[in-house]
Structure 1
Amino acid sequence: MNALRALASAVDAVNEGIGRVVSWLALVLVVVQFGIVLMRYVYGVGAIAVQESILIMHGVLFLVAAGYALLYDAHVRVDVFYGEAKPRKKAMVDLFGCIVFLAPFIYVIWDVAFPYVASSWAVKEASNETSGLPGIYLFKTTILAFTVLVGLQGVALALRSILVIAGLAETNKSRTGGAA
């Protein structure tokens, strides 16, 4: 059982590190957006590549930080079965959710996204705009990163839930509240 706990902790550490790094992208995104507004409305200059960078940063922020959000239980939850439940019942609900909802969702996203990303890599896809960004295929790869990071965090949550159900842990939450 210590191996399960160690595996869950390793996944937590990966998502923690990635989440803390990528959270700084929110600040960069705000600064770049301010720069775009300043360039456009004060100086009358538009830059398509910079405008596209906002879309890409926004996508990367949400896709790559999704595992971090799951780590901190920050996703939207309907507390019908969960609200005031005891930790064992919460663990059962979480395990059920991981198996019945999260795992199939991650599988479908991966299954649909993989050919999409592979075809983008095959042609080294760039922006359709004349002065747009190159390397759009790199951005599309974050869809696969999303599935891996959220999938791994789901496995960690499921492992912790199993430990609680078996009476080997008090709670399946490794973290509470956001730290970024």
Structure 2
Amino acid sequence: MFIFLRDLLAKIIDFVGVLVACSVIVLLATIFYNVVSRYLFDDVDIGLQELEWHLFACMFLFGIGYSLKENAHVRVDIIYEKLGVKTQAIINLVGTIALLIPISLLIIYYGYDFANEAYQSGERSGDPGGLTHRWIIKGAIPASFCFTVLCGIYVVIEQLVVLTNGSEPNKSSQGEAL
């Protein structure tokens, strides 16, 4: 049961990871267009500049969860790497349950109101020519942390598998890294 759920979550997380990777291509194309437009044609599009910031923010926000799944997040810990697999699993499990998931739920709770207020007021960019519908980028905050909670559940299952099997998780079932 847990293995099925873990594999299903891995597929969902990998799909979002592919979307994040595609957003990098869109971001690069937008930046390229803006630079060419600005320096060759002396034309500045404020809306596209804001779109760059929004794409970067979404790439970062949704990339957090994907990096958790791939265990690719930054660790600044010289002790952790010397510990056994089961001890690392316990640390990951406690950290995910005690810190990652509660903090993510808090951000979802307050982020929803943040985005909803922007939607209700029809908030838009303060810059002339800027993007309308500011609630979309504000809505990406709680949405990305819902995704992070999903990734946290994946990490919990993965660490439980490690604790019950006594070895490192089977990387072949996790999908391929981007």
Pairing of 1:61-140 with structure 2 (within 5 A): 61-140=59-138
Structure 2: which amino acid aligns with 1:160?
E
2:47–2:130 contact (8 Å) kept in structure 1: yes
The 1-side partners of 2:112 and 2:155 are apart by 25
- What is the deviation of 1:172? 4.1
Secondary structure of 2:41's counterpart equals: coil
Pairing of 1:55-66 with structure 2 (within 5 A): 55-66=53-64
TM-score for the superposition, normalised by structure 2: 0.89
The 2-side partners of 1:79 and 1:178 are apart by 26
Structure 2: which amino acid aligns with 1:168?
N
Structure 2: which amino acid aligns with 1:171?
E
Equivalent pairs: percent with the same residue? 24
TM-score for the superposition, normalised by structure 1: 0.88
Change (3 A) 1:157 1:174: farther
The 1-side partners of 2:101 and 2:55 are apart by 26
- What is the deviation of 1:81? 3.8
2:89–2:162 contact (8 Å) kept in structure 1: yes
Segments of structure 2 that go 5 or more residues without pairing to the other structure are: none
Change (3 A) 1:106 1:70: same
Secondary structure of 2:149's counterpart equals: helix
CA RMSD of superposed structures (Å): 2.1
Map of 1:47 onto structure 2: 45
Map of 1:168 onto structure 2: 165
* Corresponding pairs, count: 177
Which protein has the bigger helix share? 2
Change (3 A) 1:173 1:145: farther
The 2-side partners of 1:126 and 1:51 are apart by 15
Map of 2:21 onto structure 1: 23
The 2-side partners of 1:73 and 1:177 are apart by 13
Structure 1: which amino acid aligns with 2:125?
S
